[in-house]
Amino acid sequence: MPRKRNDARKANQLRPVEMIRSFTKNAAGSVLIRAGDTHVLCTASWERGVPPWKEGEGTGWVTAEYDMLPASTSTRRRRNRTKVDGRTQEIQRLIGRSLRAVVDLAKLGENSILIDCDVLQADGGTRTASITGAYVALCDAVSYGLSEGLIDATPVIEPVAAVSVGMVDSRALLDLDYTEDVDADVDMNVVMTGSGQFIEVQGTGEEATFSRKEMDKLLTMATRGVKQLVELQKKVLGKAPLKRSRGKAKR
C-alpha cells in the first residue's frame, strides 16, 4: 500500500496556494506566493532600454533572476555573490523563457521588465512557484506601465503557470514537496499557458526509467494542476491590489 503524503493530500491535489499582491512598496509589481511551505517573493520592475544585442529592433525584453535566501533551507545556503551557480542559472533562464512565451515583446517598445524571484522558504517546487507568482507580478507591472504611459497596450497574451509532478513509489503525484522530490523515481516540471499549450517540460528519471504510459499520466495530472493555478491567478488578479506606492521606472 502506498505511503500517505506528509500533509495527507490526495495524489492529484495541489498544496494550498496563496498569492498576495503588492507585497512590497517599490516594485511596479510584487507578489508573495505560498505553495505549502515553499514561499517565494516575486517582483517585477521596469527599466528603460533593452540589452545591447536588441537595441534598434524596436521591441522590448523580459528577463528574470532567481535566488534562494541563505536561511531558506534547513542548512544555511551561501549567497551567490561573485558567481551564479549552474542550478540558479538554469532556473532563472527557465523563468524568463516562460514569461516571454506569453508576452508580445513588440508592444513593450524598447523597455525591459525585470523579474526577481527570491525564495524565502523552500520545500520543493521553488521554480514552478516562481513562474506562477511571477506572472501575477508581471501583470501588475504591466498595469503600472499602462498607467504611467510607458506602453500603449498590454503585451500580455495569456496566463502562464507551472507545477511539478513525479513518480514516487510507483505512484504519480502532483506538486511534490521536498521529501517527495528527493524520493521520486521520476521528477518532472511542466510549464503551460492558460490555453493549455506546453512551454517547457523538464522530465528526468532519477536512476530509473519511465514508460510512455507513465509520462502521459504525469502530463495529464500536470495539465489539471496548471489549470487550477491559472484559475487562481485570474481570481487573484480580479481583486484590487493593496494600496501601495509604486516606484518609478529606472532611467
Largest Cα–Cα distance in the chain? Answer: 62
* pLDDT single digits (tens) 239-248: 776 555 444 4
Residue 243: the pLDDT is: 53
The pTM assigned to this predicted structure is 0.92
Res 1: pLDDT: 61
pLDDT tens for each residue of 145-186: 999 999 999 999 999 999 999 999 999 999 999 999 999 999
Q: For the chain, first and last CA: distance in Å?
A: 60
Going by C-alpha positions, the residue among 13, 7, 109 that lies closest to residue 61 is 109
- φ/ψ of residue 103, rounded to 5: -125, 130
So what's the pLDDT on residue 35? 98
Give 58's DSSP letter: S
Q: What is the CATH number assigned to the segment(s) 17-76+85-237? A: 3.30.230.70
E strands present in 106-210: 111-121, 160-168, 171-174, 186-193, 198-205
Tens digit of each residue's pLDDT (9 = 90 or more) over 20-48 = 999 999 999 999 999 999 999 999 999 99
Specify which residues 30 forms β-bridges with. 43
Mean pLDDT of 225-250: 77
* Res. 12: pLDDT tops 70: yes
Q: What is the pLDDT of residue 87?
A: 87
Reference 63, options 104, 28, 95; nearest CA is: 95
Mean pLDDT of 103-109: 96
Question: 49-52: which pairs have CB atoms within 8 A and are 24 or more residues apart?
Answer: 49/110, 49/111, 49/112, 50/110, 50/111, 50/112, 51/112
Q: Per-domain residue ranges for the chain?
A: 17-76+85-237
In this prediction, residue 130 carries a pLDDT of: 98
Q: What is the DSSP letter of 222?
A: H
The predicted pLDDT at position 2 comes to: 67
- What's the mean per-residue pLDDT of the chain? 92
64-91, pLDDT tens digit by residue?
999 988 778 767 777 776 677 888 999 9
If we measure between CA atoms, which residue out of 248, 237, 84 comes closest to residue 159?
Answer: 237
Bin 53: left if φ > 0, else alpha if -120 < ψ < 50, else beta.
Answer: alpha
> What does the pLDDT read at residue 251?
40
179-220 pLDDT, tens digit per residue, is 999 999 999 999 999 999 999 999 999 888 999 999 999 999
Flag whether pLDDT at 250 surpasses 70: no
The residue behind cell 512598496 is 25
Residue closest to 74 by CA, chosen among 206, 178, 183? 178
